[in-house]
Amino acid sequence: MLIQEHVLLGKITVTVFVPVLSISSNSYNVTFLPAKLINGGVAGLVGVTCVFPIDLAKTRLQNQQGARVYSGMLDCLTKTIKMEGYFGMYRGAAVNLTLVTPEKAIKLAANDVFRQKLSKDGKLPLWGEILAGCGAGTCQVVVTTPMEMLKIQLQDAGRLAAQRTVAASASASAAGPTPSLVASPAAQPGTNAPPRSSATRITLELLKTRGLRGLYKGAGATLMRDVPFSMIYFPLFANLNAVGRTEERHSNPQERAPFLQSFVAGCTAGSVAAVAVTPLDVIKTRLQTLQKGEGEDSYKGIIDCAQRILKREGPAAFLKGATCRALVIAPLFGIAQGVYFLGIGEHMLGLLG
């Protein structure tokens, strides 16, 4: 149902139509859409700033084939700081900070719109929750694919440089000690940092050589990851968010859940969904990585990638970076749901109104 509202902008009153359902205790209320977009954007910016170094470690660990530059997440972060300096952990962060606002806003807002449309008499069955999550995951791919494409190139550049350093050291002193990425005490952090590219340069190069399709390489794999993730995340979150309340669990849990419950539900649902789709994330990361290290495979598509990984690296390779993904997604979505339900967007619009 559409209701007519009057929004005061300065001295001009603008009439807008806001999609809502009836405001009864059994209905599923959908907050004013711009507020949801603001909430999603703010949550994305805060979350990415907090967890981006772990995401960088995840990308580098997933892309390792054969020769191991990093033994784990902490080893990756330590060597990154010593080779590239502290801000080396944030390579590619500018892309995420720029595009995460529309990406998270689309994801959260789309889920609410689909939940509204699929609700009947204020109730949303499990299949409706799954379909709503599926729709949200599908919508966000429009922004997620180019964002991930650019971010991965910037994140993985340091790994490739480190791999070349190890290979050069090994060739120069084959009979000597095992080469190390740990800088000498006299070395200053960042002095061995790889030459930096930029998202703008990569974008222009892709558009010039491959057209718009270049930015959307791996879109199918991104869709395969994000749709199942949302199908797991949103229903699980909605049910965890409704635990412990006497009302019908689908009767507007977003307004009734306390902040701490929303935060914990977001963290839990995010980590479960993240680990569940890690094999698909590994495939997506490998397909979207344009530059490969020495002896590393290139892939023709999703099936070819899965077959080659299984044959060369074994089943365990599909879980590379699973811990990192859980540590990234859990707080990211916990923060997102916390900000979402604190109503920062509503407060901002109230101040502007």
Share of the chain above pLDDT 70, in %: 78
Residue 177: what pLDDT?
56
CB atoms within 10 A of CB 204: 11
Average pLDDT, integer, range 313-339: 88
Q: What are phi and psi of 248, to 5 degrees?
A: -55, 130
Give CA 284 to chain center in angstroms.
13
pLDDT at position 232 is 92
The predicted-structure confidence for 111-167, as pLDDT tens digits, reads as follows 888 988 888 887 888 888 888 888 888 888 888 899 999 999 999 999 988 888 776
Q: What is the pLDDT of residues 132-142, one digit of tens each?
A: 888 888 888 88
Interval 71-85 mean pLDDT: 93
Res 21 pLDDT > 60 = no
Percent of the chain residues past pLDDT 90, beyond the cut: 36
Q: Residue 187 pLDDT > 90, yes or no?
A: no
Strands (E) located in the chain: 2-9, 12-19
Statement: residue 2 has pLDDT above 90: no
Instruction: Give the pLDDT of residue 61.
Output: 94
3-class SS at 211? coil
Model pTM?
Answer: 0.76
**Structure confidence at residue 309 as a pLDDT band (50, 70, 90):** very high
Question: Exposed, middle or buried: residue 147 (CB in 10 Å: 0-12, 13-18, 19+)?
Answer: buried
Q: Give residue-wise pLDDT tens across range 23-48.
A: 333 333 444 667 777 877 788 788 88
Amino acid sitting at position 233: Y
Per-residue confidence at 274, pLDDT binned at 50, 70, 90?
very high
The structure tokens listed for 13 are 């009153």
- Backbone φ and ψ of 146, nearest 5°: -65, -35
| Per-residue pLDDT reduced to its tens digit, 217-254 | 999 999 999 889 988 988 898 889 888 765 554 455 44
- Give the per-residue pLDDT at 102: 78
Residue 188 pLDDT greater than 60, yes or no: no
Q: Given this model, what pLDDT does residue 353 score? A: 65
